[in-house]
Structure 1
Amino acid sequence: MSSRRIERVNSLLKEVISDVIRTEVKNVNVAPLLTITKVDVSSDIHFAKVYFTITNGTKEQIEKTKEALNYASGFIGVKCSKEVRLRFFPELRFVYDSEYDEMFRLEQVFHKIQQLRKDSPSNEPAE
């Protein structure tokens, strides 16, 4: 399948899966501030990795959410397949997207550097 088509399927699945999780999944272990960050469908569209992140999530919340989503992946797939017409609907596997944690950590480091520069005396030459 062409890479352009795969990109469109990835984008469409990201939106539909987000919708289904928000409106249909009623598992208490799924964190309320969950965001689907991206979907990677295999070239034969039989498998899809669904990346998610949780705002202010603890490691325990992340793990419980991942387990709950993977447990509900069949249900989520059935609901999504009614919205997305594909010859084969991919098997969904949910994976925590740690890229956002790293970006948040780097943002904190940059903020600290900015604060240190603001708080330190000026490095202007004396006259």
Structure 2
Amino acid sequence: MNNRRVSRISEEIKKELSEIIQYKLKDPRIPPITTVSYVDVTRDLSFANIGISVLGNEEEKENAIEGLKSSEGFIKKELGNRLKLRAMPKLIFGLDESIKKGMEMQKLINEVNHPGE
């Protein structure tokens, strides 16, 4: 399948998924500061790997992922109503730790550039 089409579909799913999480989900396990970092749809549109960033401790992050996994059916139905796809991909939620890793890298860079501070 065309890579541009797959990336457009990924971006549309990301946009709509962000709105659904923010305004439609009522699960108390999902904190208000939950963002969709990325969506990678496979070329055959059968799977969508979704990176979720959650502001909070490890327990809150795990609870948010569990809440999203349990809401997968509702989310797929909402996405199906908003997007005109022949088949909706299976949603695979995962925790995105890239922000945390980036902050750790910045701290290490600062330590190397300014030793003793």
**TM-score over 0.5 (shorter chain):** yes
Which runs of 4 or more aligned residues in structure 1 lie more than 6 Å from their structure 2 counterparts after TM superposition? none
Q: Secondary structure at the match of 1:82?
A: helix
Residue-by-residue CA offset, 1:6-39 (whole Å, 9 max, x unaligned):
0000111000000001010011100211110000
Answering whether residue 41 of structure 2 is matched by residue 41 of structure 1, we say yes
Residue 88 of structure 1 corresponds to which residue in structure 2? 87
> Equivalents in 1 of 2:54, 2:106: separation in Å?
17
Task: Work out the CA distance in 1 between the residues paired with 2:25 and 2:113.
Answer: 42
Residue 99 of structure 2 is matched in structure 1 by: 100
Question: Counterpart of 1:15?
Answer: 15
In the alignment, structure 1 segments of 5+ residues that lack a partner are 120-127
Letter in 1 for 2:3: S
Tell me the TM-score normalized by structure 1: 0.84
TM-score, structure 2 normalization: 0.91
Secondary structure of residue in 2 paired with 1:48: strand
Q: Which residue of 2 aligns with 1:64?
A: 63
In structure 2, the residue matched to 1:25 is: 25
- Per the TM alignment, residue 108 of structure 1 is displaced from its structure 2 partner at its CA by 2.6
Task: Determine whether 1:76 maps to 2:75.
Answer: yes
Instruction: Give the C-alpha shift of residue 110 in structure 1.
Output: 3.2
For structure 2, list consecutive stretches of 5 or more residues without a partner in the other structure.
none
Contact 1:74 1:92 in 2 (8 A): no
